[in-house]
Every structure is written in C-alpha cells, then in structure tokens.
Structure 1
C-alpha cells in the first residue's frame, strides 16, 4: 500500500460519492415511507384486492439488451421507481420502447501493473445510453451509445480506456419462427456484443472501459432444452481509440469471429455448453521473442459443464485448438477444473472454490509447430487475478476463492493465485494476449509469481453498485531474471449507477 499515492483524483471521487451513493442509499426503499390506508370500522367489508405485483430483484442485465421490464405491464404493479417512466413507453400503437443507461466512475491507484516499475493514478468514466424498440412480437431495434474517458493519467491510456461517443450496439432483430412451447428462431444483424458461457473465450469484457463489440449476423434458436447461436462477425478493434478519437468505430474485415455455441439448460442446477469458435486475424501479430508473424486462424472446439448438488459445486471447461499461426501449424488447448462448497450452516454462508487453470505453451519456438493456446477475446479480469497481469496463454494457475455475504446486499471476496508458465521457453502473455516477457533459453524458469486480491461489493439498490478492490502481486524468479520487477499494488474503487 505504501506505493499507492494520494492525488486530487481522490477528492474528485469523494465528491461524486456524496452526490451519487448517499442519495441512492437513502432512497433504497422509498415505498417504506408510504403508510398503508385501511378501511374504517364503519365501512362495509370489501373483497380484498389482488396482491400487488412485485418487481424482480434486478431487472437490469449485462449486456443491457437482455434487460426485462415486462413486469411493468401488470396492472396490479405499483411503481415507486422514478426511472420506470422511461420504460414500456408506447410511441405509436403496437410498439414498446425502453430507454435507459448507465453512468460509472472508476478510480485506479496502480503501481507496476504494466511491469515497468512505475505508478499511475487516474479516473475512468463511462456513460452508456440505450433505446430498445419492439414492434409487436416479430421485430426489434436496439441502439446503445457509449462515451468513455480517462483523466489524470501519468502513463498513456490502455487500449479501450478512451472512446468518445460511439456505438456499442446497433442491431435489428427479426423473429423468423415461434412455436406454442415458447421456442423461437431470431435473426440479428448489426453491431452487437457477444457473451458466451462463463466468458472465458468470448466476452464483451465489462471491466474494459470500452466494451468489446462486433459487426455481423447471428441466428439465435431458443427452446426449453437448448439455446443454439450461429454467428459470423467482424471485430471492432480497440486500437482505433488511441488519442481520444471522435471517429465512428469501424470493424476490421481482416479480423473475423465465426462460430456455433449451444447451451443445454433443462436440467436443474446444471448447465452444459458445446461450441466451435474460429478467430481469424490477417494482420501482423506479435509472437514473443520471434518478432512478428503474418496473422493466424485459431479453430477452437470445446465444452463446459457446471453444476451443483446440495452444498457441492463444480465446473469444468476445456477445448482443443488447431489452425495456423503465420507459417506454423497450430496445435494447442486449455482446460479449467474447479470444485466448490457452500457452508450454509456458517454465518455469512461462505463459499470456497479451488481451481486449476491450464493453457498450453510452445515447447520449442524454433520448430514449425505452435503450441501456445490463443485465448481469443475473453474476460480474464474475474478469472486470472484483478491486476490483469497475465492472460490464459502458456499458463498454469492454481487459485482459491472465498466468498462471504455478511448482508444480502454485501459480498466479500478473497482470492489467491499461484502463477507459472506452462513452457519456460515461451512468453508470459498479459490479459490482452500480448507477449510481455520472454526467455527463449528457458533458464529464467517458469515461476511467474503470486497474487492476493480482496474485493467488497455493495449493492445499494437496484440502480447503484459500489465495488472496492485491493490486490498485491509478488513477482517470481521468471520476472526477476527477464528485466526485473518490483511487487505490484493496485486499488480500484468503482461506482455504477443504472437507470
């Protein structure tokens, strides 16, 4: 903590905290201040009215195009939320319009997270505004704008930390088929976020200040047993946001993501996924100590099984990857195995997980075979340490997670990660899949380091959420012998307000 410096940003964040969090907390249940009105003793008895409809615990989802405010259509529902006036609007007969968005502030105090022995204190802001228009049951248009900024930085902003007013989602849905059992087939075309499974391979990456998005087309089949998505898209690269640009984001025709993703969800407390994903990039890309190669195509076939029985929980996911990396033949893979247990009889009902996360590396960088797993376009922040120092490439990670809920609105999380390289002659890759340290001789060994993270999340109400995280990274011999590295510290404070 000694390396976390004070800055005027803290005062700025404190003022915004008072402006946003305190009013949100005070207004958490405005309905509690409204007294009940009962019939007087001289009035005739009346048939009791039907019970008022209740709002779901959280109608907001991620991504926003999954938000569901249909409970407002119930005539017995009594609205006490001031933002309900923006939902279920009827611009013209036969249409329904939802309006909303999010404003977030995230304060970073960092030291050496980029392995450069330098500190950085800065403030990220993000504004998202959306409009969701349904025309009957068969057609829909969804649009979402985003404005992301970074202030007070001492180092150049990372890719994705800045993006001035642009489109994060802009697509149309056409329902092509629907049966009496609720099955549907929908065609979606336009700009859209993608989130699949547990987001280890394909995610919109909500931690990134500018979320990952794509231009393309999808076919979405939903039934009581399976949900199946087939898609062809082009990536909207984060690199075009450098220098705080104001240009409309363009997708890259040289970076294409296609695939088929199926999820079985009819079994209680159990989910099964199966998928084929192909990521093609025809731009020059870095390859550790070997410089630059002329693109790649990574074909990934895998599955995931997650479930629960009584107090025991488990998750397993794995995939094999083949294709080409420059002139090399790709043959790689990854797997994750986790076992957890929830202790219901213990105060705060803690849950303990133990995970082993493995991604293959390249044993011999000089041959014509590429053994390094390509992590595709994932969400690594919640799986591989909150410092975002490593990615799921050439990696072994033994990690433990303890979660406790001292209050229904408060969640506490403690994590410990032990990192090794899977192959000592391959590189260490960061959370974006970019090689950051390499020893092609392998003499530096494979011990990357350890990371301890602590998080407190407070759900003030269905609109406001406050998250505070602190972590410390202990460098291992590999980093010490490939350029040196001091310990890394970080402190994040993140406030979001949805409306």
Structure 2
C-alpha cells in the first residue's frame, strides 16, 4: 500500500509539472541547459536545472523513474513452469544525478532497484536486484570528441544487438571506455567494455571478466537515396558460451549494416549481419537479415500504420561438422517479440504483420501476428537471453507456432505511460513434440512515471 500511495502522489504532482520535458530512453542524453534563460522559479525547474556557478555553466540535474508491471500467465513456458494463479508484480525504481562543469566535464550517476513479488519460482537477477549502481561515468569533452569512462548503458541502432534491455525489470550496463565523435550528419563510437553481471542483493553487481565486448559503430544521416545508414563491427569474447552444439570459449566478430528512414508516409528499417570467429575448435559462420517496412494512411481518421516485420536468423546446420552456424544476438532487447518474451533471435524465421491505430492523440492500439519457424531442423529453440529452451532432436518439424498480440498504449503527458497487453501463443508441432506443448495466454499491465 505504501508503494501504491507513492505512485498516487507522483501522479497528482503532474499538475505542477509545467515543463514539456523531452525524456529519452537513455536518460544521460537529456540536456537541460535550455533552462538557462527560463525566468520561472518552479520547484520542478530547480530539480531539472540547479546552477552552482554565476554563469550557470555548472549545474546539477536530477531525475528518475518508477515503473510497476503486473503479469499473469496461463501455461507459462508452454506448461513446463509452475502455475501461479494470481500472477506476479515487477517494480523498478531508477534515480540519477547529472553534474556538468562547463562544456568539458560531466559526471552521471544512476541507481537502480528492481523488485519481484509473487513469482512461482525464485526470481532471477534480471527480475530482482535490490539496489545497485547502474551507471557511474565521467565525460571529458572537447569540441566534437568525448571520452566516457565508467559504468554505462550501451545502445545502438534498432537495439537488435546492443540494447539497454528496457522491457525486463533490470536494465543492463557495461563497465566501459568509449570514444565518441560527432560532427554534422556523422557519428562514430569506439568502445571497449566488460559486461556487468546483475546480482540479487545490495551493491553486489560486478564486472564479468569472462565476457568482454568491444567494437566500432558509425551512423551517417541525410545521405542521398539511402537516407540513413549504420555501419558497425562488434566483437564479443565469452569464456563460457552455450549452444546446442556444446559449451566453451567463444570469440565472435559481427560485421553489419542498417539502412533506415522515417517519412510522413513510409518507414523502413533494413539490417544485415554476418558473424565469424571461433567456438571451441569450431569455426563460426552465422548471419541474420531483417526488415521492418510500414506505411501510414494519413487520409484516414485513425491514421493506421500497416507494416510487416520479418527476420531470417541462422541456426546450426549440422552438429559436429567443425562449424557453428547458430547466430548470437549479443545483448538484445529483452522483449524481442513482445512483453511475453517467449522466443529469442537465434535459429529463427519469422513473419510479423501488424497494424497501429491512433485512437486519439495519446492513445494507440496495436494488433500483430507473428509466425515462427526454426531456420535449421538440427538446431534448437533459444530464449531471449540465449539459453537453449528445447533441443532440436525431438522433432524434425520446423514449425514453432504463432503468436497473436494486442497492445493498448496511453500517454497523457510526457511523464506518464500506461500499457495493457494481451498475448496468445499457439504452440506448433515442434513445441508439442519437445515438451508439454500447451498454448500460452499472457496479460500484462504497465504503468511508468518519469520525472
């Protein structure tokens, strides 16, 4: 009840929030120096922009987030998981302090607390992490170049490979050194990092020395014909990687490109990745191609957006042939195919038509249908975190099943976001041959408040 009262207080306080705050998914990308010339004297302005020098070039900024989620599953994990009749609740708190000393020095610190209540099994660290330092870095900047050192979130492109993992309860971070260069329509990042392993207790998150991640990512916008393009090279070294083909040391290189644009009518996002390297004594050769194309009917009252997504993601073609063809999605967003997060992007072929309807300015309804097949009959089915769910051996069927999702999203202002989702997964031949094979029904409710 205390938590519920707290969220009510926050909701009531929105009346006082006069600023149209441009909140971003990466909170460190927010810049409140525009308030330098604001002559108002509200408590909220002082929270977002608190100068500590006469010229106002040195200042503090404070912010945070409270998120509540309720989930209820029928036949979770296709009937393999214990049933929880009354569902479970996930809660996430984020709070940050951002300090700028002129244009050359900046430090950003963010704490995260993620709580899980009512799960049938002990919650994983992705669901429950009582309190920890999620980010703590310094920026040293000069003109177009910035050096960022410390614990930080990494997010690139459409977040297919490198994501903040927004949908799960506990966002992910890296201990990294990153050079960032930006000029005109070009941006270039070069980084080296260690993955930060989430642990369930207080201030116990640690560097995972067994998982190193480095690479380069560049973005070019306003290019003739192509509009926007990303080019990247990413490397992951994992001391212990697990696939259907076995367990061992993985050294994987990913080379990819993404072409994307969003106009008034058309939106498209096309991406291709090839992976090579070594896994144990095997040679890695894996790939993926994805497309997300949509068209908005502006002439209609609801302005429907009609689109289709599709992905082809390689799986291991044959066991013990000296090659590993299973694609590694690296550090993807947790809800890759909806909040139910049932399937991960490895050894997969999917077709995903959808439609979005703007019921009002702040209310959006989405209906989508996702059909799944295994790319290779000799490889298994993987979860979003890369864990093998079912081996490829029980069935020679490629057909995994299809998923129907309905989502209603309401954003009355910049601070408040509500989402209701209903997902039904119809188990296909492979699922039924590999386990209990029951259909899944998931309902999920989310309320998020940012300040």
TM-score (norm 1): 0.84
Write the distance in 1 (CA, Å) between the matches of 2:28 and 2:415. 16
Query: C-alpha separation between the residues in 2 aligned to 1:305 and 1:380?
Result: 23
Instruction: Specify the SS of the correspondent of 1:253.
Output: strand
Mapping of residues 296-375 of structure 1, within 5 Å:
296-308=250-262, 311-375=265-329
Alpha-carbon separation, structure 1, partners of 2:47 and 2:291: 43
Q: Secondary structure at the match of 2:34?
A: helix
Distance change (3 Å), C-alpha of 1:134 and 1:309:
closer
2:50 counterpart SS class? coil
1:138 aligns with 2:104: yes
For residue 282 of structure 1, give the secondary structure of its aligned residue in structure 2.
strand
Check the 8 A contact 1:189/1:217 in 2, yes or no.
yes
The alignment partner of 1:119 has SS state of coil
Superposed CA RMSD in Å reads 2.2
Point out where structure 1 has 5 or more consecutive residues left out of the alignment. Answer: 1-11, 32-54, 179-183
**Deviations, residues 125-168 of structure 1 (Å, cap 9, x unaligned):** 11111000000000001000011111122122134111111111
The count of residues paired between Structure 1 and Structure 2 equals 445
Return closer, same or farther for 1:334/1:28 CA change in 2, 3 Å cut-off. farther
Matches within 5 A, 1:421-432: 421-432=374-385
Structure 2 unaligned segments of length 5 or more: list them.
none
d(CA) in 2 for partners of 1:346, 1:29: 36
CA contact (8 A) 2:168 2:334 kept: no
The residue aligned with 2:396 is 444
Q: 1:18 to 1:278 in 2, by over 3 A?
A: closer
Q: Return closer, same or farther for 1:20/1:327 CA change in 2, 3 Å cut-off.
A: farther
**Residue 100 (structure 1) aligns with:** 63
Structure with the larger strand share = 2
Q: For residues 309 and 129 of structure 1, do their structure 2 counterparts lie closer, same or farther at Cα, with a shift above 3 Å needed?
A: closer
Give the aligned partner of residue 83 of structure 2.
Answer: 119
Shift of 1:371: 0.5
Shift of 1:402: 1.1
Q: Is the 8 A contact 1:365 1:440 kept in 2?
A: no
What is residue 245 of structure 1 aligned with on the other side? 201
Determine the C-alpha separation between the residues in 2 that align with 1:28 and 1:358.
47
Seen in structure 2, the aligned counterparts of structure 1 residues 439 and 166 have a Cα distance that, compared at 3 Å, is same
Residue aligning to 1:7:
none
Structure-2-length-normalised TM-score: 0.93
Runs of 4+ aligned structure 1 residues displaced above 4 Å come to 12-18, 27-31
What residue is the counterpart of 1:36 in the other structure?
none
Indicate conservation of the 8 Å contact 1:200/1:380, yes or no.
Answer: no
Match of 1:264 among 220, 238, 256: 220
**Whole-Å separation in 2 of the counterparts to 1:314 and 1:367:** 38
Largest Rg, 1 or 2? 1
C-alpha separation between the residues in 2 aligned to 1:217 and 1:297?
20
Q: Is 1:460 the equivalent of 2:395?
A: no
Alignment partner, residue 181 of structure 1: none
Q: Contact 2:289 / 2:311 at 8 angstroms: preserved in 1?
A: yes
Q: 1:34: which partner in 2? A: none
